């Protein structure tokens, strides 16, 4: 976990950093100071008027007071359809309780503070995103060293709140490298504001390429600094028209994320109903995959789990059962790995703690009803059922969708292929190294279980009964059939998980369901714009992309956990908004990674 903030409370109730010997904000004037220094200093609200999207970067989240000040001004001045993004970096996060005490005096924003505190970020490395759609407001918190966090961003920001502790007390926040990166991440015409008038800060901003000038400061401070990036802001591109192919949880998440951003979305399903493949199971497990190490792939898997929890709580609460998941070790080496995780956990005990027999207890994990979640996410959308898309043809305006015999089904500026096991069914995606496996589950009216158990397989609550499984069998078919021998395998798994449950279930009332999953060689999903493979093959080197054709697939058995963050990322990129995935994570998921690895090894690219 990132280091917690080291704080003390002054006699006046103000919160103070004992590490840096500086205050977060004054108890009496903190909100007024935030409004004067950062909102006025960045020319707000005038600079966001008429904008569809506006992005603010912040160094130093603290208790979130600057965020609340901006949110409050935004909700009072925004027009319908506008979205404000704040991306804030904090290396030493406060706890929810500490933030609550720090924000208590600021009654002007008490209602917003309560909403923020209800969804306070987990103390965990990486980016966490929270959206309040009713206000058109999106907050992304990055718990990371400031230099590493800035290097992991690539979106141009329209304004910056430079609110680290004083340069004399925390010089690492104000280096030339940091300020140069802020400049590199600034859109034309962007403004940066800070309370500091330090010569080091001024010189660093000027050397980075900002035009810097002094302005009246707040309270006892005579001046503050304002930095202007040369140029004029570009017009916001309109939200695109996007066709999403795939009626499962990945397609539903993508369509939902795009629709929330104002895109004209059509959702295409080959079946006569949504959720007719693996997403049609009566319940599925949502739990983290805690890969050891700090690789971008491991960081993505943790971020995806936290995002999924937030997503289902907000978008499909009736489909979500946060029952907790007890994960048992299945071998001595796994038990040792679990012990290592508990000794140095990725998040606090409210999320992860020790269970009996060396188990991990994921306290916030649980079971999802996929059909109900998909119904909630796709309500009111343009859904095309029984319309299998067989080919994608590039046209000047984007892409043409064709069905059987070349029948034109529709057109879109962009396409997101989230077709599950059918991912390779298009000329542009046939080469992807995706392996298929058939999985079967069992479910029915049997003993209730209070929490889910995971081991070699899982069992969890499902309506009035339980669901358990699942098998893995390699296949080359896009559809799976239930098999008696698969039920035998699942019953053996249940016996290993809980002999009592295995003995108590009514086997005559059990039902089976089978579906096909798509998995990649590195067990990470695929997300990104499709490579133009013929161009890569002609030059035998890195080539261009197929503009507007996006791949979202290869989710394996973890689709319910991974799909929400992947969908939010592709929607953010299509709508020119800050991406919830950091740069290294995007590279780890990029479909081009397979081609780049082949080139690096001197191998022939696929046909």
CATH of the domain at 101: 3.40.50.150
Q: Is residue 45 part of a domain?
A: yes
- The DSSP line for 368-379 is E-HHHHHHHHHT
Residues 119 and 202 both lie in one domain: yes
Dump pLDDT digits (tens) for 362-421.
Answer: 999 999 999 999 999 999 999 999 989 999 999 999 999 999 999 999 999 999 999 999
Q: Is residue 490 part of a domain?
A: yes
Q: Domain ends where: 465, 485, 509?
A: 509
Residues 67 and 120 both lie in one domain: yes
Residues 465 and 595 both lie in one domain: no
Question: What is the b/e burial string over 224-261, where b = at least 16 CB atoms within 10 angstroms of the residue's CB?
Answer: bbbbbbeeebeebeebbbbbbbbbbbbbbbbbbbbbbb
Question: What is the b/e burial string over 478-500, where b = at least 16 CB atoms within 10 angstroms of the residue's CB?
Answer: bebeeeeebbebbbebbeebbee
Name the strand (E) or helix (H) holding 457.
Answer: strand 457-462
Q: Domain ends where: 337, 363, 389?
A: 363
Dump pLDDT digits (tens) for 301-342.
Answer: 999 999 999 999 999 999 999 999 999 987 778 888 899 999
Residues 502 and 594 both lie in one domain: no
Q: What's the Cα-to-Cα distance from 390 to each of 244, 277, 300, 408, 546, rounded to whole Å?
A: 13, 18, 32, 10, 18
Residues 335 and 263 both lie in one domain: no
Q: Is residue 444 part of a domain?
A: yes
The answer to whether 224 and 397 have CB atoms below 8 angstroms apart is no
Task: Give the range of the structural domain holding residue 440, as residue numbers without chain letter.
Answer: 435-509
Q: Longest Cα pair distance anywhere in the chain, in angstroms?
A: 80
Residues 544 and 401 both lie in one domain: yes
Question: Tell me, what's the pLDDT at 477?
Answer: 92
pLDDT > 70? residue 134 = yes
Q: To 10 degrees, the CA torsion angle through 35, 582, 49, 121?
A: -40
Q: Looking at residues 334-361, what average pLDDT do you find?
A: 91
Question: Tell me, what's the pLDDT at 27?
Answer: 63
Residues 126 and 273 both lie in one domain: no
Q: Is residue 578 part of a domain?
A: yes
Q: Looking at residues 233-251, what average pLDDT do you find?
A: 94
Question: What is the b/e burial string over 57-91, where b = at least 16 CB atoms within 10 angstroms of the residue's CB?
Answer: bbbbbbbbbbbbbbbbbbeeebeeebbbbbbbbbb
Number of domain units in the chain: 4
Q: Is residue 2 part of a domain?
A: no
CATH of the domain at 494: 3.30.9.10
Residues 294 and 382 both lie in one domain: yes
Alpha carbons 386 and 437: distance in angstroms, whole number: 24
Dump pLDDT digits (tens) for 94-118.
Answer: 999 999 999 999 999 999 999 999 9
Confidence of residue 261 (pLDDT cuts 50, 70, 90): very high
Question: Tell me, what's the pLDDT at 607?
Answer: 86
Q: What angle do CA 32, 35, 41 make, to 5 degrees?
A: 135
Q: Is residue 514 part of a domain?
A: no
Residues 192 and 146 both lie in one domain: yes
Dump pLDDT digits (tens) for 552-567.
Answer: 999 999 999 999 999 9
Residues 162 and 201 both lie in one domain: yes
Q: Is residue 515 part of a domain?
A: no
Dump pLDDT digits (tens) for 5-58.
Answer: 999 998 877 888 999 988 888 766 899 999 999 999 999 999 999 999 999 999
Between residues 276 and 497, the one the model is more confident about: 497
Q: If phi over 0 gives left and psi between -120 and 50 gives alpha, with beta otherwise, what is residue 322?
A: beta
Residues 416 and 533 both lie in one domain: yes
pLDDT > 80? residue 193 = yes
Helix then strand then coil, in percent of the chain rounded to 5, is 35, 25, 40
Q: Domain ends where: 466, 483, 509?
A: 509
Q: Is residue 1 part of a domain?
A: no
The answer to whether 586 and 528 have CB atoms below 8 angstroms apart is yes
Residues 41 and 160 both lie in one domain: yes
């Amino acid at each position: 976990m990132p280091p917690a903030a080291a704080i003390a409370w002054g006699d006046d109730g103000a919160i103070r950093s004992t590490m840096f010997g500086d205050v977060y904000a004054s108890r009496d004037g903190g909100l007024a100071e935030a409004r004067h220094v950062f909102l006025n200093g960045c020319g707000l609200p005038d600079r966001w008027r008429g904008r569809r999207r506006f992005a603010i970067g912040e160094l130093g989240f603290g208790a979130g007071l600057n965020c609340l000040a901006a949110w409050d001004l935004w909700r009072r001045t925004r027009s319908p359809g506008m979205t404000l993004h704040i991306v804030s970096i904090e290396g030493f996060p406060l706890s929810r309780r500490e933030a609550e005490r720090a924000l208590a005096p600021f009654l002007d924003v008490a209602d917003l503070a309560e909403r923020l505190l209800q969804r306070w970020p987990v103390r965990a490395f990486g980016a966490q995103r929270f959206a309040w759609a009713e206000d058109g407001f999106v907050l992304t918190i990055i718990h990371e060293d400031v230099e590493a966090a800035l290097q992991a961003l690539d979106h141009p920001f329209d304004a910056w709140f430079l609110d680290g502790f004083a340069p004399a007390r925390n010089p690492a926040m104000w280096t030339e490298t940091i300020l140069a990166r802020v400049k590199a991440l600034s859109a034309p015409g962007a403004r940066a504001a800070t309370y500091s008038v330090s010569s080091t800060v001024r010189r660093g901003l000027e050397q980075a390429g900002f035009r810097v000038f002094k302005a009246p400061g707040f309270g006892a401070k005579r001046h503050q600094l304002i930095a202007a990036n040369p140029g004029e802001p570009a017009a916001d591109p309109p939200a695109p028209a996007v066709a999403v192919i795939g009626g499962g949880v990945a397609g539903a998440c993508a369509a939902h994320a795009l629709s929330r951003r104002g895109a004209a979305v059509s959702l295409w399903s080959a079946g006569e109903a949504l959720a007719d493949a693996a997403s049609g199971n009566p319940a599925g497990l949502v739990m983290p995959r805690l890969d050891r190490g700090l690789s971008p792939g491991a960081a993505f898997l943790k971020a995806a789990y936290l995002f999924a929890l937030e997503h289902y709580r907000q978008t499909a609460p009736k489909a979500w059962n946060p029952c907790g998941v007890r994960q048992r070790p299945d071998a001595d080496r796994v038990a040792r790995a679990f012990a290592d995780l508990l000794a140095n956990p990725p998040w606090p005990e409210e999320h992860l703690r020790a269970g009996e027999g060396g188990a991990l207890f994921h306290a916030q994990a649980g079971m999802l009803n996929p059909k109900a979640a998909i119904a909630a996410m796709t309500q009111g959308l343009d859904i095309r059922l029984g319309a299998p898309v067989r080919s994608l043809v590039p046209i000047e305006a984007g892409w043409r969708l064709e069905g059987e015999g070349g029948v034109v089904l529709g057109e879109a500026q962009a396409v997101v292929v989230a077709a599950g096991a059918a991912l390779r069914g298009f000329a542009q995606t046939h080469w992807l190294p995706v392996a298929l496996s058939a999985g079967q589950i069992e479910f029915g009216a049997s003993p209730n279980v209070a929490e889910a158990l995971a081991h070699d397989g899982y069992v969890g609550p499902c309506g009035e009964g339980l669901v358990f499984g699942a098998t893995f069998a390699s296949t080359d078919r896009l559809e799976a059939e239930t098999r008696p021998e698969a039920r035998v395998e699942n019953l053996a798994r249940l016996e290993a998980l809980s002999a009592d449950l295995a003995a108590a279930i009514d086997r005559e009332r059990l039902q089976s369901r089978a579906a096909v999953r798509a998995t990649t060689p590195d067990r990470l999903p695929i997300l990104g714009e499709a490579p133009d493979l013929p161009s890569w093959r002609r030059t035998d080197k890195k080539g261009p992309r197929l503009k507007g054709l996006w791949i979202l697939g290869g989710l394996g058995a973890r689709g319910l956990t991974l799909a929400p963050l992947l969908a939010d990322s592709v929607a953010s990129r299509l709508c020119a908004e800050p991406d919830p995935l950091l740069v290294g994570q995007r590279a780890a998921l990029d479909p081009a990674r397979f081609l780049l690895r082949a080139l690096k090894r001197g191998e022939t690219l696929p046909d």
